[in-house]
């Protein structure tokens, strides 16, 4: 008898929902800063008051998505086409059986833990922007206001935490 849960057995392939509902990082602005929209989706996006980023080349909304709360999509049944079709590299490899679900969940948990640690050190903006942008602005503002050795040490630590998060996203999630 196998000690692996049924979802971890070699014959079982995850559908993706377990991984996606544990993660949700594609909605937070950590992986991307915009999400493309189909032209016919614009009125609904406007109705949801999504922060639009439209120009001559694309229609999109800015991330983090305001419809994403506590790693859950509040408009899941009527989500946008990009949201329905997106699969990160980790999800694809998990569905293909290259990465076991348990390992994939551990990678997601690591990124979430690192992002939460950075988030605790960076004041949120209103409206929210991707964590990278908020961290960059926080560092810029603190650099202008504080030249103390304490801030320099804190800054160095924050920059190192951001780099660790960036590497974890790229290597662990493969957006």
- Report the domain count for the chain: 2
Give the whole-angstrom CA distance, residue 135 versus residue 159.
Answer: 9
- Helical H runs in the chain? 17-23, 42-47, 81-85, 89-95, 101-119, 131-145, 149-168
Note the pLDDT of residue 4.
Answer: 43
Model's pTM, two decimal places?
0.85
Give the whole-angstrom CA distance, residue 98 versus residue 66.
Answer: 33
Q: What share of the chain is helix, strand, coil (3-state, %, to 5)?
A: 55, 5, 40
Q: Mean pLDDT over all residues of the chain? A: 90
Judgement on whether residues 67 and 106 belong to the same structural domain of the protein: no
Give me the mean pLDDT over the 118-144 stretch: 96
Note the pLDDT of residue 138.
Answer: 97
Judgement on whether residues 65 and 126 belong to the same structural domain of the protein: no
pLDDT-based confidence at 6, cuts 50/70/90?
very low
Note the pLDDT of residue 2.
Answer: 35
Give me the mean pLDDT over the 156-173 stretch: 96
Judgement on whether residues 131 and 143 belong to the same structural domain of the protein: yes
Please, which residues have CB within 8 angstroms of residue 40's CB and are 6 or more apart in sequence? none
Judgement on whether residues 101 and 139 belong to the same structural domain of the protein: yes
Residue 12: pLDDT over 80: no
Structural domain ending residue among the three candidates 68, 87, 106: 87
The strand pair at 72-73 and 68-69 is best described as: antiparallel
Note the pLDDT of residue 13.
Answer: 58
pLDDT-based confidence at 114, cuts 50/70/90?
very high
Judgement on whether residues 63 and 93 belong to the same structural domain of the protein: no
Under 8 Å between Cβ of 45 and 61: yes
Judgement on whether residues 172 and 94 belong to the same structural domain of the protein: yes
Give the whole-angstrom CA distance, residue 127 versus residue 49.
Answer: 12
CA-based angle 86:64:75, to the nearest 5? 65
pLDDT in tens, 63-78: 999 999 988 899 988 8
Note down the domain range covering 60.
32-87
Give the whole-angstrom CA distance, residue 12 versus residue 19.
Answer: 14
Query: H/E element holding 35?
Result: strand 34-36
């Amino acid at each position: 008898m196998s000690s692996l849960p049924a979802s971890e057995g070699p014959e079982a392939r995850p559908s993706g929902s377990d991984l996606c509902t544990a993660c949700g990082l594609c909605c937070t602005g950590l992986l991307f800063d915009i999400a493309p929209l189909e032209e016919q989706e614009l009125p609904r996006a406007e109705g949801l008051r999504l922060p639009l980023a439209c120009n001559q080349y694309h229609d999109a909304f800015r991330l983090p998505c305001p419809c994403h709360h506590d790693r859950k999509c509040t408009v899941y049944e009527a989500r946008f086409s990009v949201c329905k079709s997106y699969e990160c590299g980790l999800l694809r490899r998990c569905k293909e059986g290259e990465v076991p679900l348990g390992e994939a969940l551990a990678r997601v948990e690591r990124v979430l833990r690192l992002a939460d640690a950075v988030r605790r050190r960076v004041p949120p903006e209103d409206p929210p922007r991707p964590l990278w942008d908020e961290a960059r602005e926080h560092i810029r503002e603190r650099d202008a206001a504080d030249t103390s050795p304490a801030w320099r040490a804190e800054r160095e630590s924050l920059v190192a935490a951001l780099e660790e998060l960036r590497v974890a996203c790229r290597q662990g999630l493969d957006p």
